[in-house]
Every structure is written in structure tokens, then in C-alpha cells.
């Protein structure tokens, strides 16, 4: 860009666009078991109030700070949020599908094997709870089983 062009305020045709994110393809961010952020979270991100957005997402979802920060950062980058529960629900059988199965025994087995994520997913399927509630229940059951 020439000096004269800069002085006249003409755009530099050879320079990359100022907003490099606008030219990049949208990445996907897998939410896993976490819910889609609500309007309050999205509004805080738009206003560039990241701490408020993280706090709002923690309250909405029951997620921890690290998880909430990852979600908020993905929103700020413009990533497309993908729910992992839709894929997981279509690929796994519901507990009701096997009438002789004992859901509590299966849950205990998952917990004892250290498969806490699978146990949380299973708990949510059985009781239809939110992530935070299922996580607390599974962790409480783990503590019970460890005590004997």
C-alpha cells in the first residue's frame, strides 16, 4: 500500500481482511451432555461480558467453570455448537428396552468400573434429570459404594 493511499483512507487490497475469523470456516464445538446456552448467555457474549456469560452458563447448566469457559469461548469464536446427546441417544438403547434389567445394578456397575461419564448419561436417561443433578447423584452413589 502506498503512502498516498493510506493518507486518503483507501483500503489495502493486498492485506488480509481485518476480521480473520470472518473468512475462516466455522468449527464445531461438541457440547456433549451440556445444554445449549440460553439467550442470557448469548447476550452476555455479544456484549463481550465473558465473565458474566460464564457465570450465567454455570447457573443455567450446572457445568463447572472450566466447561462453561470452553462453551463461552466457542460461542465467542463463532463456532457452531453441536449437542452430543442427540448422537448418543440415537446410538444407545433405552433402559426400558430390556424389561428384566435392573437399572440401579447397572448404574452401580458403571460407577464401580470408574465409568462416571457413562453412569451420568445412564442416570439422565433413567430419571430425566439435568446434567448437574445427575452428576451429583452419581458422585454421591460412588461415595456410598466406596464406603461399603
b/e string for 89-123 if b means 16 or more Cβ within 10 A? eeeeeeeeeeeeeeeeebbbebbeeeeeebbbbbb
Q: What's the DSSP call for residue 16?
A: P
- Whether 5 is in a domain gets the answer no
Q: Are 100 and 49 contained in the same domain? A: no
Calpha distance 88→19 (Å, rounded): 36
Chain-centroid distance of CA 94 in Å reads 22
- Whether 140 is in a domain gets the answer yes
Q: What is the pLDDT of residues 35-64, one digit of tens each?
A: 889 899 999 999 999 999 999 998 888 878
Beta strands in 1-148 (DSSP E): 28-32, 80-83
Domain coverage including residue 70: 20-84
Q: Are 76 and 102 contained in the same domain? A: no
pTM (2 d.p.)? 0.47
Q: What is the pLDDT of residues 109-143, one digit of tens each?
A: 888 888 888 888 888 887 788 888 888 999 998 99
Amino acid at each position: 500500500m502506498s503512502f498516498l493511499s493510506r493518507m486518503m483512507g483507501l483500503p489495502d487490497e493486498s492485506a488480509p481482511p481485518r476480521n480473520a475469523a470472518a473468512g475462516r470456516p466455522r468449527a464445531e464445538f461438541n457440547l456433549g451432555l451440556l445444554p445449549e446456552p440460553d439467550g442470557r448467555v448469548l447476550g452476555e457474549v455479544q456484549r463481550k461480558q465473558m465473565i458474566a456469560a460464564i457465570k450465567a452458563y454455570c447457573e443455567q447448566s450446572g457445568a463447572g467453570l472450566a466447561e462453561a469457559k470452553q462453551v463461552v469461548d466457542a460461542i465467542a469464536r463463532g463456532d457452531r455448537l453441536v449437542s452430543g446427546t442427540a448422537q448418543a441417544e440415537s446410538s444407545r438403547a433405552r433402559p426400558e428396552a430390556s424389561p428384566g434389567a435392573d437399572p440401579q445394578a447397572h448404574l452401580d456397575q458403571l460407577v464401580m468400573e470408574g465409568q462416571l461419564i457413562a453412569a451420568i448419561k445412564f442416570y439422565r436417561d433413567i430419571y430425566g434429570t439435568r446434567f448437574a443433578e445427575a452428576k451429583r447423584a452419581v458422585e454421591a452413589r460412588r461415595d456410598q459404594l466406596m464406603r461399603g
